[in-house]
Chains A and B, each alone.
Chain A
Amino acid sequence: MPDEVRVRITVNGTRHDLRTEPRTLLADLLRNDLALPGTHLGCEQGVCGACTVLVDDVATRSCLVFAAQLDGASVRTVESLAGADGTLHPIQRAFTEEHGLQCGFCTPGMLMGACELLERVPEPRREDVEEALGGNLCRCTGYQNIVRSVCAAGRLMAGQASDGQTSDGQTSDEQSGVRA
C-alpha cells in the first residue's frame, strides 16, 4: 500500500490537516472524510457536473481531482452557501422561488457553478448562464427554470449590494478547526 500523503486544505473557511491515500478524489474526501455530503457524485467521469465545487474560486469537477493535488488550496462546497442560522443564500432563494430544482440531485453542482459565474459576472445574461452551466446535466427541469433562477439570483444579489447588505454567505474569517 503506497504511503498516505499530507493534505492541508481549507474547506468552507475551516482549515484541515489530513492524511489520505493518493487515490482519494476530492469528492470522496469531502463526502467521507469531512462529512460534507452536499457535494453529489453522479457519473464520476466529469460529464454530469453534479460534483462541481469551487477550488480557489474556480468551478471544478471534484471527481476529477485528487485531494493530494490540493495541498494548500481553498475549497468551497454547497454547504458554504447558507448562513449558520439556515438563512438561504440569494442563489438558493432564487432556485426556490423560480423552481430551479425538482429532484435536487444536480442542484449542488448547479449552485456552485452559478456561484462562480455570479462572482465573475454579477448580472449575467442568459448566454452567460448557458455557457457556465452548459456542462451540468439536469434530468428533471428542462433547464429553463435553472437559467431563470441564476439570472434572478444576480438581480437579488445586486439589490442586496445596493441596499448595503452583504450578499455573501461566506465567512470571511477562517476558523481554525484542525482535524487530523
Chain B
Amino acid sequence: MKPAPFEYAAPRELDEALDVLGEHGDDARVLAGGQSLVRMMNARQVSPAVVVDINRVRGLDSLGVTGDNGSSTLRLGATVRQRTSELSGEVAAHAPLLAEAGAHVAHAPVRARGTVVGSVAFADPSAELPTALLALDGLVKVRSRAAERTVAADDFFTGPFATSLAPDEMVVGVEVPVTAGRTGSAFVELTRRHGDLPVCGAAVVVGVDDDGRVAHARVALCGADQRPARLPAVETAVVGADDPAAFTEAAARAADGLDPIPSCHGSADFRRHLARVLTARALRTALARATSPKETTDAR
C-alpha cells in the first residue's frame, strides 16, 4: 500500500461531485480512469485529502454526435474510456484523428480504463490526446457548483501539467466540431519504445479544395513545447500547397518559437528537429487521405 490516506467520495450525481470539489478545492482530486492519478498517488507525488471518484456519476459516459449536418459536434463525456473512443464508429467517422492518436496511448489495458477527458485534464505536454484535441479545434466543457463554461483547447492548456481549471471546477467533457467537406488527418509520433509517451508527435487536419490543394490546415505538436502547441505559422504557410516539397518548406517553421522540455529521451534541439520532420510527414499523410477517400476510411 503506497498512497497516503484519503477520504473517498463516489457520488452518483454530478452536483454531488461538484459539491465536494467546491468544499475541498485543491485538497480534492477527481478520479476517472486513474491511470495517471493512482500512479502518482502510489509514488506520493500527489496526496489528495479527498478523492472524488466520478465513475458512478450518471451521464458522464456518453459518446455521440449532436446537431445537424450544418454544424454537428462530437461529444465525449468525462468517463468515456480511451479504448471506447479508439474503437468507436462515431469517432472514426467524425474525428478519425482522435482515434488514430488514441491508439498510440500506452497499452490496451491502460486504455481500457484510462479516459480521454482524464488525459486532457492531466495536460501532459507530451501526451497524444490533448494535442489531437488541439488540432481538432476541440472545446473543453467545464463545470463548477456555481457555473458552466466552455474553453477552447488552446486556452485550456497553460503549461506542463497545468490548465486554466479552477480548484472548484472539473472537466465534464470535450467537444469536437465536425467539419464538412474534404478533409484528411494524420497523427505521427516518435517513441523510444512502443507504448511510451512520444518524444515528439504531430497532429494534422487538412481540408482540400477541388484542385486537391490545401484550403486550410490545423497543426499541433506534443513533446515540442511547454504545452500542446498549435503552429499558426505553418498552418498559414501550407495553404495552397499540394506537393511534398511545399510541405517540407512549410514545416521548416514548425519549431519556431517553441520551448521544448529536454529530457533523457530527447534534447531540446532533437525535439525541434523532430517537430519539423514529423510535421512534414503528418501533412503529407493527411493530404493523401484527404484526396483518397478510401485511405481515409482505412486510416485506423
Contact = CB atoms under 8 A, between A and B. Distances in A.
B112 A63 contact: no
Nearest to B34: A64
A69 B31 CA distance: 10
A65 B38 CA distance: 7
Interface string A129-166: 00110110000000000000000000000000000000
B1 A52 contact: no
Interface residues of A, number: 31
Contact of B110 (A21, A46, A131): A46
B192 interface: no
Q: Which of A1, A21, A24, A64 has the most CB of B within 10 A?
A: A64
A40 interface: no
A49 interface: yes
B112 A5 contact: no
Interface in A14-42: 21-25, 28
B236 interface: no
A98 interface: no
Contacts, number: 93
Interface string B189-225: 0000011000000000000000000000000000000
A132 B300 CA distance: 17
B233 interface: no
A41 to B, nearest CB: 10
Interface stretch (B101-109, B158-166, B267-275): B101-109
Q: Which of B2, B4, B107, B194 has the most CB of A within 10 A?
A: B107
A28 B6 contact: no
Nearest to B3: A23
Q: Which of A3, A23, A58, A63 has the most CB of B within 10 A?
A: A23
B198 to A, nearest CB: 16
Contacts of B41: 23
Contacts of A46: 35, 38-39, 106, 110
Interface string A80-102: 00000000000000000000000
Contacts of B10: 68-69, 71
Interface of A: 1-3, 5, 21-25, 28, 44-46, 49, 52, 58-61, 63-66, 68-69, 71, 113, 131-132, 134-135
